[in-house]
Each structure stands twice: as structure tokens, then as C-alpha cells.
Amino acid sequence: MTFNSFPIFLIAHNEFKKVVGHPIVIIIALVLIMISALNGITSSGLSGFEKIMPNDDVLIKVALSGMFWDVSEYCTIAAMFIGLISIAGDRYNGSLNVLVSKPLYRKNVVVGKFLGISLFMLLLVSVVYVVSALLIMLFYRAPLSPTDFLLRFTALIVLLFLECSLTVGITMLVGIAFKNMVEAAVITASFFYVEWYTTLSYSIGELGFLFPSSLYIKIFSTVSDPRFTGLLDTSMDFMEWAGLAYPYILLMVLYIIVVLLIDSFVFTKVGD
């Protein structure tokens, strides 16, 4: 399967600009930034936790953990919506027909769109967490260990970025398989509900890792070690967490590559 890097770059650049200017994406981004800002502003009352957790960095274990679930959920919604309009939306309004009629490999179109959206999700996740962290430091205090904070903070951003990228790839596959925008939207919404609001992923054992959120939470929490709660538990050394989490991180990266290859293969086989 051959990929031409220059057309991919142009498509990725165009997709990034299109996503940045989409009204619904702007609304979701503003909601996320508001959540992160509110979390930072209200962190001034965290000093009471220091007596309860004398051996932990409250800034990491409480302040950042407090927004983990909401940010993860809303970023996943953003990734699903953007992935849906990237293929299904473009097929619905006919703009994809214009793109694939040009001298481009169809697989280059898929990869370019995926990279453009993934770059935007990395930017969105980074901005949301950076805004929150800066406000926490402003209204509460600086981290006890800047190095440990930077390691955990970077890992937090990278993990959510990977989860969102995987979600984008899966949602793009739905858009490729179902040309009807309504059908694609219903399937995407159903997948999100099952993934985040049911226990199905936990009841099917290792197959639960087919759901991006399950694999993401597994990496974050490293629940195989009952002594600790995960990445933001400062009573656990960061490198110890990384040692437990890295096999699942590699699995997620492999999962993303496989899904992207499937997207590219299927898109070359279906009609417009």
C-alpha cells in the first residue's frame, strides 16, 4: 500500500483548517476550556487535602484528577463528531466526490484527513490541560516536584490524544461503511453510549479493549496493581506506572495503525 507524503500533507493541512473553523467544534472546544478554567479557579480550596494526603502532591492527585473524566469524555465526543463529519459528512454533501476525483490515491485522502484531525485533537487536549494547570498553579500553588509533574502531565496529554486518535479512526470507518449521514450518526452515538455508559466492555473480558475508552482507562489506572489508582497517584513512582502501562500503550498505538489501514483499504473498495 503506497502513500505519497506531499498530497497527504496538503489534505491534512486542509482538514485541520476545516475542523478549526467548524461552529460545533468551536462550541465543544469552548466548553472544554471553560471546564478546565473552572477547575483551575476553584482549586484554591485544595489546601485542606494536604492534611489528609501528607505524602501526595494534591495538585496532581486531586486537582488534575478532578477534571480527568469530564475532559476525557468531552474530548472523545469531539473526536467522534469530527471523525463523523470528516468522511460521512463530506460524502453526504458531495465535497468528498470533488476531492477523490482529483489525481489522488483514495488511501492518501483517508490518511491525510486522519492526520489533520489527530493534530487538531492534540492541540485541543494540550490547550485544555495547559489552561487548567496554569490556573491551578495561579490559584493554588506550584507542583512539589516540577519534574514529576511534567512527566505525568505530558503522559496525561499523550494518552488522551491516543484515545481520541483511535476514536477518530473508528468513527471514520463508520463514515466509510455507511454513506447515509443519519445511519452513521446513530451508529456513532450508540457506540459512544455503549462505550462510556454501559458495563459491556467490562463483561467481555479482554475483548473489552476493542473499546478505546476501556483501553485508555486501563492504561491510566493500571488496575492490575491494586496498591495504586494510576497515573495521577503520586504515591506511585512515575516509572513504576510506566512499566505497568507501556504494553497497553503499545497495544493502543498498534490498534490505531490497524484501524487506519482498515480505513484506507475499505475506502479504496467502496464507491463514493
pLDDT tens figures, 84-112: 888 877 676 655 554 555 556 778 888 99
105-114 CB burial, b ≥16 within 10 A, e <16: bbbbbbbbbb
Whether residue 35 is predicted with pLDDT greater than 80 in this model: the reply is yes
CA atoms within 13 A on the CB side of 54: 1
pLDDT at 65: 85
Candidates 248, 236, 234; CA nearest to 65 is 234
Whether residue 249 is predicted with pLDDT greater than 90 in this model: the reply is yes
- Pick the range with the lowest mean pLDDT from 42-46, 163-167, 247-251, 268-272: 268-272
pLDDT at 207: 75
Contact 259, 88 (CB under 8 A): no
The pLDDT-based confidence of 239 (bands split at 50, 70, 90) is very high
Return d(Cα 53, Cα 32) in angstroms, integer: 28
C-alpha cell at 269: 473498495
Domain positions in the chain are 5-269
Q: What's phi and psi for 233, nearest 5 deg?
A: -90, 105
Strand spans (E) along the chain: none
pLDDT at 168: 95
Identify the residue with better confidence: 181 or 246. Answer: 246
Mean pLDDT in the chain?
A: 85
pLDDT at 271: 57
- The rounded Cα 72 to chain-centroid distance in angstroms is 7
Share of the chain above pLDDT 90, in %: 34
Identify the residue with better confidence: 177 or 121. Answer: 121
Whether residue 183 is predicted with pLDDT greater than 90 in this model: the reply is no
Whether residue 178 is predicted with pLDDT greater than 90 in this model: the reply is no
CA atoms within 13 A on the CB side of 238: 15
- The rounded Cα 264 to chain-centroid distance in angstroms is 21
**Residue range 238-260: mean pLDDT, rounded:** 94
Candidates 146, 144, 157; CA nearest to 67 is 157
User: Cα Rg for the chain, rounded, in angstroms?
Assistant: 20
Alpha carbon separation from 26 to 78, 89, 100, 218 (Å, rounded): 10, 17, 27, 30
**Residue range 6-11: mean pLDDT, rounded:** 86
Return d(Cα 46, Cα 108) in angstroms, integer: 49
